[in-house]
Amino acid sequence: MSQTMTTKELAKKVVNHEETLILDVRNTDEFDDWKIEGGKVEVINEPYFNLLDGLDPVADKLNKDQEIIVVCAKGGSSQMIAEMMEEEGFTNVYDLEGGMKAWSEHLEPVKIADLKDGGSLYQFVRLGKGCLSYFIESNGEAAIVDSNRMINNYEKFADEEGVQIKHLIDTHLHADHISGGRELAEKMDGTYHLPPKDAEEVTFDYAALEEGNDIVVGNTTVKVQPVYSPGHTLGSTSLIIDDKYLLTGDILFVKSIGRPDLAGKAEDWVGDLRNTLYSRYKELSDDLIVLPAHYSFAEELGDDGSVSARLGNLYQYNEGLQVEDENEFRKMVTENLPPQPNAYEDIRKTNMGKITPENEKQREMEIGPNRCAVQG
């Protein structure tokens, strides 16, 4: 029997920037589309079927005493290859439990800050998909922003922290992942907030996330202040916490900007996107710490495994904020769009409450990388 490694153990290595060597035995097209990434992660891809007759294709790339984590789609092939490697004298081989399917669902909480009135702010990093969600707690209450569908992670964390989840907030109607906000709100008897302009087709009741309509979590001074910031979607709304943290949803990322076409409206919404990034956000303090809903590149992970940046710094270094000419900006946004996320239409319908796929189907719908950013 080979040794196994859990996604949590692997996540700790990635977040702590430990040297990590992965042998990914999926087909090359699957690997090219989506892989495990991190600041000090090295990945070798050799399809499983190339190794069935022996390890020759990878023998000269691996040392027999180094730690090697074997990864496949669901955990079956990796176990077989790991056992073969052990028989060949490799002494430190692990197979990733559950494969990329499990990796896609792991959430790693990272503390961002203590809030000024005794609360705390956490970022939940979904390393396998680049999704970022937020847990704000104060005085026994919590709000979660842009939650993923694996709601048991948040429930468990709330129990450990001794807080009650009161508010579930989506900055916009998501098209790349299924939101857990509504389900968690029902389960916790909390309030689900969604921008009204993104909620015109939803089939359920919600509280309107609107500019000027603060949400109070615990102590009255820990306010979540909505700021209308359209462009990724028509309703996209950012949040300011503690006058210091700007949750930008999918409008602004650390190394890129949001794409405005997940509802097929790139040409229509590019003007809104530009206005938000080049006017509305410009009026905010440069010292705000930007906390986005996604990241696309391993180098965006900071030393502590979190993803953040000072707003003023992004105006100096983020290429998506450097395009003064409006036509050039429009061209950049509409011509540099990556493929649509897998099953994005069904994900939007699920988030609207129009369809309710089985759990296994929901997992399949989300497999793959996030594609919410414009590619430079």
- CATH of residue 242's domain is 3.60.15.10
Which CB contacts under 8 angstroms, 24+ apart, belong to 283-289?
Answer: 284/227, 284/240, 284/246, 284/311, 285/311, 286/310, 286/311, 286/312, 286/315, 287/244, 287/311, 287/312, 288/240, 288/244, 288/245, 288/246, 289/112, 289/244, 289/245, 289/246
Residues identified as active-site: 72
Give residue 354's region: left, alpha or beta (phi > 0; psi -120 to 50). Answer: alpha
Where is the domain boundary, 103, 129, 161?
103
Helix axes 151-161, 181-188, angle to 10 degrees: 50
- Do 218 and 147 sit in the same domain of this protein? yes
Instruction: Tell me the one-letter amino acid at 151.
Output: I
Q: What is the pTM of this model?
A: 0.92
Tell me if 374 is assigned to some domain. no
C-beta separation of 340 from 311 below 8 A: no
- Do 122 and 71 sit in the same domain of this protein? no
Tell me if 376 is assigned to some domain. no
- Do 69 and 156 sit in the same domain of this protein? no
Tell me if 337 is assigned to some domain. yes
- Do 298 and 318 sit in the same domain of this protein? yes
- Do 168 and 243 sit in the same domain of this protein? yes
- Position 5 scores a pLDDT of 96
Q: Spell out, as residue ranges, where the chain has pLDDT lower than 70.
A: 1, 220-222, 261-265, 341-342, 371, 375-376
- Do 340 and 262 sit in the same domain of this protein? yes
Where is the domain boundary, 103, 120, 143?
103
d(CA 289, CA 17) in angstroms, rounded, equals 22
d(CA 374, CA 139) in angstroms, rounded, equals 39
Which residue range(s) make up the domain with 53? Answer: 3-103
Strands 68-71 and 20-24: parallel
- Position 376 scores a pLDDT of 47
Helices (H), the chain: 7-15, 28-33, 56-59, 76-87, 99-103, 151-161, 181-188, 266-275, 311-317, 326-335, 344-352, 359-366
- CATH of residue 94's domain is 3.40.250.10
Tell me if 237 is assigned to some domain. yes
- Position 261 scores a pLDDT of 64
- Do 90 and 118 sit in the same domain of this protein? no
- Do 155 and 293 sit in the same domain of this protein? yes
- Residue closest to 247 by CA, chosen among 113, 88, 369: 113
- Residue closest to 334 by CA, chosen among 251, 261, 249: 261
Tell me if 182 is assigned to some domain. yes
- Position 335 scores a pLDDT of 80
Where is the domain boundary, 63, 80, 103?
103
Tell me if 65 is assigned to some domain. yes
- Do 174 and 316 sit in the same domain of this protein? yes
- Do 205 and 245 sit in the same domain of this protein? yes
Tell me if 89 is assigned to some domain. yes
- Do 303 and 249 sit in the same domain of this protein? yes
- Do 218 and 256 sit in the same domain of this protein? yes
Per-chain mean pLDDT for the chain: 91
d(CA 130, CA 148) in angstroms, rounded, equals 11
Number of domains into which the chain is organized: 2
pLDDT in tens, 181-231: 999 999 999 999 999 999 999 999 999 999 988 999 987 556 788 999 998
Tell me if 375 is assigned to some domain. no
CA-CA-CA-CA dihedral for 231, 237, 241, 245, to nearest 10: -10
